[in-house]
Amino acid sequence: MKSAAVVALALAISSVLGAQETKPVPKGSVRVSIPGCSKGYMFTASRRTVEAPGSVDVPEGMHLRLNAPKKMMAEIKAHEGSLVEITGLMRKGQYGPSGIGIGGVRVQPGSSPASGTLSVGAPASPVMIDVEGWRPVVGNCSVR
C-alpha cells in the first residue's frame, strides 16, 4: 500500500517537473516574447514597457503572422483589443530591421520612386511566429 502511494507521488512530481521544461530551440531559430495586439491571425508589436518588456527589440508596429494550435488561437482571439504578450519561435534575424548597419544607422537599398516597385529590403510577406504561449498584459490596444 505504501509503495503504491510512493509511486503515485513520484509520478505526480515528475509530471509537474516535465510540464515546466521548455522545448529546445531549433537551429536557426530564436525564442522571443513580444507585447502587442492581435486581430485574427495577425499580431502587431507594441512599444516595450515595464509591464511588458519582451525579450527582443521588435520595432513597434511590425506585423507578425501567428501560427498556433486552434485552442490557443481561440484564447488569443478572445483577447482582441487588449494588450497581450506572445512567446514563440521565429527565425533568427527576421525581427530586426533590414539593411546594413553603418555607424549606428541602417542603410537599405531601394528602387527609384518612379519605378513603382517594392524596395529590395522590404519583406514580401509578414514574418511568421510559431506561438508557444501567451499572457495578458496591462494596457489597451490603440486603433490603427
CATH number at residue 73: 2.40.50
In a domain, 53, yes or no: yes
In a domain, 129, yes or no: yes
Task: Encode pLDDT of 71-111 as tens digits.
Answer: 999 999 999 989 999 999 988 876 655 554 455 555 555 54
In a domain, 48, yes or no: yes
- How far apart (Å, rounded) are the C-alpha atoms in residues 50 and 132? 22
In a domain, 115, yes or no: no
Q: With CA atoms as reference, report the closest residue to 126 among 69, 67, 75, 74.
A: 67
pLDDT score for 141: 83
Q: What residues contact 21, with CB distance under 8 A and at least 6 apart?
A: none
In a domain, 57, yes or no: yes
Q: Could you tell me which residue, 43 or 114, shows the higher pLDDT?
A: 43
- How far apart (Å, rounded) are the C-alpha atoms in residues 13 and 22? 17
Domain count, the chain: 1
Domain that holds residue 125: 25-99+121-144
Task: Encode pLDDT of 26-56 as tens digits.
Answer: 888 888 889 999 999 999 988 877 665 666 7
In a domain, 127, yes or no: yes
In a domain, 110, yes or no: no
Q: What is the mean pLDDT of residues 109-114?
A: 52
pLDDT score for 72: 95
Q: Residues of 50-62 as b/e, b for ≥16 C-beta within 10 angstroms? A: eebebeeebeeeb
> Global pTM?
0.63
CA distances from 32 to 64, 68, 94, 105, 128 (A): 12, 15, 11, 24, 12
In a domain, 18, yes or no: no
Q: Which amino acid is at 117?
A: T
